[in-house]
Amino acid sequence: MEIFELVFSLAQSTLRFTPILIFAAMAGVFSERAGIIDIGLEGKLLIGAFVSATVAHYAGFGLVGLFAAMAVCMVFGWLHGLATITFRGDHVISGLAINFLAVGLTKTIGHSLFAKGGDTPNLAGPDSTGWERLQSLIPKQVLIDAFPGLESSKALLNILSLHGWLIALAFIAVGLTWFVLNQTRFGLRLRFVGEEPQAVDTAGASVVAYRFAAVTIAGALCGIGGAYLSTSNIASFTPKMSADMGYLALAAVVFGKWRPFYAMLGCLLFGLLFALKNRLNSVNEGFLVQVPGQLFEALPYVLVVVVLAGFVGSARAPKAIGRPYVKERE
């Protein structure tokens, strides 16, 4: 019975962490298959979390925060595209700049708005009464007014929960990413932009347009991941709450060899490592010899390095990744 409870607890914790990684990993797949190195996944997750929590605080409605996070993260995706596609700058430096900018902006603006050191107020309210309103896809009162019979059915109202739908959407996004990249003309050309941009240009398509489309999609996905982090996983924002999940998502992309389903497996693995870390931290108090908590904190990252060591050498990145495309003059 204890083993069953342990497995159930680990599965629940894994499912809690994994959607954030999946949204960021699918963003990385789109960007990198188009030839754009996206180190800035971490910064866009953080910006998305801050914008979603802030807008949801003022609007009192989580879905509004979700759309706001997507819009702002798309703008940050365009900034990365402007630096790497238009001005042909270094992709890694541009991504790191976005990460540093996100840390500074979220803390500065958050402190000026709420005077809590960069934190947002608890979105669930002092007695958690705001949680139901925050998680509703449609305001509860609107549903009750339209369908009076729903008032007595809490189960049906809970089905329309933002938290549950975002978890489902994360796994749906994996299938959609695969379908777009492998079964559509847009996806075929996007992949060729990351492999042979000259061939796409010769066919009459714009390499610049496809790469900007990729960073736009990546920004929107990071916005959803950030919104899940601050308004569904935790009902508040704290500085640096993304906790390097953007980097782990990028590692999952490499682990998965830039393929959506394999990247999802990497996200599930890393999510399990986070769940194990928390579980080991909780049972550490019962040990005869106390193990430093920092060891458990570092465990997921150490195991990530060990896992990737066996995959990076055999993984083949898109040929044109990180290389600016210069249109040949006729």
Enclosing H/E stretch for 279 = helix 260-283
Residues whose CB falls within 8 Å of the CB of residue 277, separated by 6 or more in sequence, listed in order: 296, 297, 299, 300
What is the phi/psi pair of residue 136, to 5°? Answer: -75, 130
Nearest CA to 22 out of 324, 280, 228, 239 is that of 228
Enclosing H/E stretch for 282 = helix 260-283
Lowest mean pLDDT among 96-110, 149-163, 292-306: 149-163
* CATH architecture, domain defined by 2-309: Orthogonal Bundle (1.10)
Which stretches within 152-292 are classed as H helix? 154-159, 162-183, 185-195, 197-202, 207-227, 245-255, 260-283
- pLDDT band at 222, cuts 50/70/90? very high
Question: What is the token pair recorded at 166?
Answer: 């975002």
> Most distant CA pair in the chain: distance in Å?
75
Distance of alpha carbon 288 from its chain centroid, rounded?
39
Domain positions in the chain are 2-309
Please say if the pLDDT value at position 258 is more than 70: yes
Q: What are the CA-CA distances from residue 248 to residues 212, 276, 289 (Å)?
A: 24, 16, 31
Q: What is the pTM of this model?
A: 0.89
Lowest mean pLDDT among 40-44, 175-179, 197-201: 197-201
Nearest CA to 223 out of 94, 102, 132 is that of 102
Angle at 33 between CA 254 and CA 300, to 5 degrees: 20
Mean confidence (pLDDT) of the chain: 84
Higher pLDDT, 212 or 275: 212
* DSSP state, residue 136: B
Higher pLDDT, 40 or 304: 40
At 198 the pLDDT is 92
What is the phi/psi pair of residue 161, to 5°? Answer: -95, 130
Query: Would you tell me the crossing angle of helices 245-255 and 2-33 to the nearest 10 degrees?
Result: 80
- pLDDT band at 152, cuts 50/70/90? low
Question: Do 76 and 219 form a contact (C-beta atoms < 8 A)?
Answer: yes
Q: What is the pLDDT of residues 46-91, one digit of tens each?
A: 999 999 999 988 887 788 899 999 999 999 999 999 999 999 999 9
Please say if the pLDDT value at position 154 is more than 90: no
Question: What is the token pair recorded at 256?
Answer: 């998965």
Give the count of beta carbons closer than 10 Å to the beta carbon of residue 170: 24
Nearest CA to 239 out of 118, 122, 65, 96 is that of 118
Tell me the C-alpha distance between 188 and 191, whole Å: 5
Q: Determine the 3-state secondary structure of 161 from DSSP.
A: strand
